[in-house]
């Protein structure tokens, strides 16, 4: 029964709303620009931290949006059931921040 609940949670994502702000699990920056291969800086570190929390991506939070971060982004997008393009735009940011801060993460 517990396993069925865990599987359902993974398929449906987090069930509880989570407050954002000072209690955010990742605190590199509040900026949310579109990120893609070649991007760098604190905003990429924020995305990498979220990916690590949301899907246990195992990324170095080094601020380099390289092929490994792009692949983890695609993995997350597939898991979340959103557009899979390897870029982190508004939709992906929204899902990432929600999933990363949700109780029970990682989900995929």
**Cα(56)–Cα(49) distance, integer angstroms:** 9
DSSP-derived 3-state class of residue 60: coil
Instruction: Enter the tokens of residue 72.
Output: 């983890």
In angstroms, what is the C-alpha Rg of the chain?
A: 13
**Cα(96)–Cα(73) distance, integer angstroms:** 9
- Residues 83 and 77: beta-carbon distance below 8 Å: yes
Model confidence pLDDT, tens digit, residues 1-29:
444 444 445 445 554 444 444 579 999 99
Model confidence pLDDT, tens digit, residues 25-73:
999 999 999 999 999 999 999 999 999 999 999 999 999 999 999 999 9
pTM of the model: 0.80
């Amino acid at each position: 029964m517990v396993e069925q609940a865990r599987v359902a949670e993974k398929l449906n994502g987090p069930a509880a709303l989570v407050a954002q702000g000072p209690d955010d699990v990742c605190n590199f920056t509040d900026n949310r620009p579109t990120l893609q291969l070649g991007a760098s800086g604190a905003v990429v570190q924020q995305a990498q931290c979220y990916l690590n929390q949301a899907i246990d991506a195992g990324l170095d939070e080094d601020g380099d949006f390289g092929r490994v971060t792009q692949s983890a982004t695609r993995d997350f997008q597939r898991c979340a059931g959103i557009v899979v393009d390897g870029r982190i735009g508004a939709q992906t940011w929204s899902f990432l921040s929600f999933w990363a801060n949700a109780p029970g993460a990682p989900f995929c």
